[in-house]
């Protein structure tokens, strides 16, 4: 980037700073000018050199904000109307691509016109240098002619001194004096004519120099007017793009507002779902408590039904007699299942004293067995009979 372009950007930043612009606005303006007008990727050193403000941590944040704005402007979604999301995405990409293409075409046109203007400026500068060279040559010729004129004047003075010396000699040179005087007058006339010729030539050179100066001034004004017209044309082409960019920014703001409303509705809906879930969890806990209570009551009803109205003390005496082997099979068969509701299983196996007996229902009735030693009572018609057999077999083994 040239020094004069850098000075222009600094003047713009000084104007913004005078209008109350902050550091971030100055950095963003410098990034825009570097990227869009000079095709230079903004860096911390370049932006800091232009703005003369900001720290090593603030300027990279400003540059990152500039790239985020470029990305959000290049890729925008249309949020108005009942448009499918895929079509919104494609429309946003199309608008971004259109903006990038327009910006690229404008940049190429500006670059071409700038190259043309620079070529014209270089031609004007070349013409100016040529005019300066011709003027220098004319000045040199004028100096040489003045030197020759001065030499002629010196020669005239020398001749006049010689004439005075000749006159002083008197009669001795009287005859030669007339001839020498005539010759000197002729030479003097010739020298005067040469002086007049040189003066005429010098006047022509001065007129030529003035003409060249006038031509250089007209050329400069002409190229300056062309540059001014080109800048006006470039501004005329860029203004519609800026209007379109403002439109895209407004559409982006509308879409962001709609996105915020949708996020708020989604948050409210999630809160409602959480409230309903908490209520469902409380109802589920209450349901489990009620189910446990129903199970307990069901077991109590089943136990009461199994007891069949037999007195608990009588049933306990019968169970202890059966477990001690003092009831015969005929007596146990007469009792049947009347006391099954009061029968309690032994805590330990009487055979191995380690296993915990288990009661199982079989096809013919009930069977009590030990899972540790595989000791079993065999099938019985009732729980009381299974308990009596289980205890009786163990007692018989102990006796043997």
Instruction: Indicate left, alpha or beta for 311 from its phi (over 0: left) and psi (-120 to 50: alpha).
Output: beta
pLDDT for residue 267: 85
CA distance 308 to 178: 188
Model confidence at 227, pLDDT cuts 50, 70, 90, reads confident
Give me the long-range contacts of 387-391 (CB less than 8 A, separation at least 24). Answer: 387/319, 387/322, 387/323, 387/343, 387/345, 387/346, 388/322, 388/323, 388/325, 388/327, 388/332, 390/346, 390/350, 390/357, 391/322, 391/323, 391/324, 391/325, 391/346, 391/350
pLDDT for residue 312: 63
pLDDT for residue 78: 43
Burial classification of residue 208, based on how many CB atoms lie within 10 Å of its CB (0-12 exposed, 13-18 middle, 19 or more buried): middle
pLDDT for residue 85: 63
Answer whether 77's CB lies under 8 Å from 255's CB: yes
pLDDT for residue 307: 47
Q: What is residue 21's three-state secondary structure? A: coil
Model confidence at 178: pLDDT above 50:
yes
Beta bridge partners of 358: 369
pLDDT for residue 149: 83
Of 70-79, 123-132, 162-171, 206-215, minimum mean pLDDT range: 70-79
Quick: pLDDT tens for 308-362. Answer: 555 566 667 777 776 666 677 777 776 666 666 667 777 778 778 777 787 777 7
Please state the rounded mean pLDDT for residues 299-309: 52
pLDDT for residue 189: 84
DSSP state of 56: T
pLDDT for residue 49: 84
Model confidence at 5, pLDDT cuts 50, 70, 90, reads confident
Beta bridge partners of 361: 366
Answer whether 323's CB lies under 8 Å from 391's CB: yes
CA 28 to the chain's CA centroid:
14
pLDDT for residue 155: 86
More confident residue, 312 or 138: 138
CA distance 195 to 393: 167
CA distance 100 to 98: 5
Q: Model-level pTM? A: 0.25
CA distance 396 to 394: 5
Please state the rounded mean pLDDT for residues 34-61: 84
DSSP string over 127-157: HHHHHHHHHHHHHHHHHHHHHHHHHHHHHHH
Quick: pLDDT tens for 14-44. Answer: 888 888 888 888 888 888 888 888 878 888 8
CA distance 32 to 29: 5
Model confidence at 393, pLDDT cuts 50, 70, 90, reads low
Pick from 130-144, 162-176, 318-332, 361-375 the range whose average pLDDT is largest: 130-144
% of residues, the chain, pLDDT over 90: 0
CB atoms within 10 A of CB 118: 11
pLDDT for residue 175: 64
% of residues, the chain, pLDDT over 70: 80
Of 228-232, 271-275, 295-299, minimum mean pLDDT range: 295-299
pLDDT for residue 237: 78
Quick: pLDDT tens for 68-96. Answer: 887 776 554 444 444 566 665 676 677 66
Quick: pLDDT tens for 228-263. Answer: 887 777 777 777 777 877 777 788 788 888 888 888
pLDDT for residue 76: 47
CB atoms within 10 A of CB 248: 20
Please state the rounded mean pLDDT for residues 170-193: 75
Model confidence at 398, pLDDT cuts 50, 70, 90, reads very low
DSSP string over 349-381: -TTTSSS--EEEEETTEEEEE-TTT--B---BS
């Amino acid at each position: 980037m040239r020094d004069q372009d850098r000075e222009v950007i600094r003047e713009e930043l000084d104007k913004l700073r005078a209008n109350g612009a902050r550091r971030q606005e100055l950095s963003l303006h410098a990034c825009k000018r570097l990227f869009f007008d000079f095709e230079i990727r903004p860096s911390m050193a370049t932006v800091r050199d232009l703005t003369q403000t900001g720290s090593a941590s603030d300027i990279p944040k400003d540059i990152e904000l500039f790239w985020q704005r470029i990305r959000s402007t290049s890729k925008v979604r249309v949020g108005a109307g009942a448009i499918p999301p895929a079509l919104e995405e494609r429309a946003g990409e199309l608008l971004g691509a259109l903006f990038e293409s327009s910006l690229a075409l404008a940049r190429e046109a500006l670059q071409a016109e700038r190259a043309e203007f620079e070529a014209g400026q270089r031609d004007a500068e070349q013409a100016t240098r040529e005019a300066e060279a011709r003027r220098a040559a004319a000045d040199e010729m004028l100096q040489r002619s003045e030197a020759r004129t001065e030499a002629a004047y010196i020669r005239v003075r020398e001749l006049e001194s010689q004439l005075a010396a000749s006159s002083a000699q008197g009669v001795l040179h009287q005859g030669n004096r007339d001839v020498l005087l005539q010759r000197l007058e002729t030479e003097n006339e010739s020298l005067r004519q040469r002086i007049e010729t040189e003066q005429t030539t010098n006047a022509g050179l001065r007129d030529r120099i003035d003409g060249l100066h006038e031509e250089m001034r007209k050329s400069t004004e002409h190229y300056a007017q062309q540059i001014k017209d080109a800048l006006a044309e470039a501004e005329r082409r860029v203004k519609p793009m800026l209007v379109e960019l403002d439109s895209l920014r407004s559409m982006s703001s509308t879409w962001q507002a709609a996105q915020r409303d949708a996020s708020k509705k989604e948050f409210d809906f999630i809160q409602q779902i959480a409230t309903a879930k908490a209520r469902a969890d409380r109802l589920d806990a209450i349901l489990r408590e009620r189910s446990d209570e129903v199970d307990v009551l069901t077991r109590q009803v089943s136990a009461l039904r199994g007891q069949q109205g037999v007195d608990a003390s009588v049933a306990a005496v019968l169970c202890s007699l059966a477990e001690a082997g003092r009831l015969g099979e005929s007596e146990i068969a007469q009792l049947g299942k009347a006391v099954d509701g009061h029968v309690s299983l032994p805590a330990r196996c009487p055979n191995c004293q380690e296993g915990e007996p288990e009661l199982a229902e079989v096809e013919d009735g009930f069977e009590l067995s030990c899972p540790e030693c595989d000791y079993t009572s065999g099938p019985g018609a009732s729980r009381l009979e299974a308990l009596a057999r289980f205890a009786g077999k163990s007692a018989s083994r102990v006796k043997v």
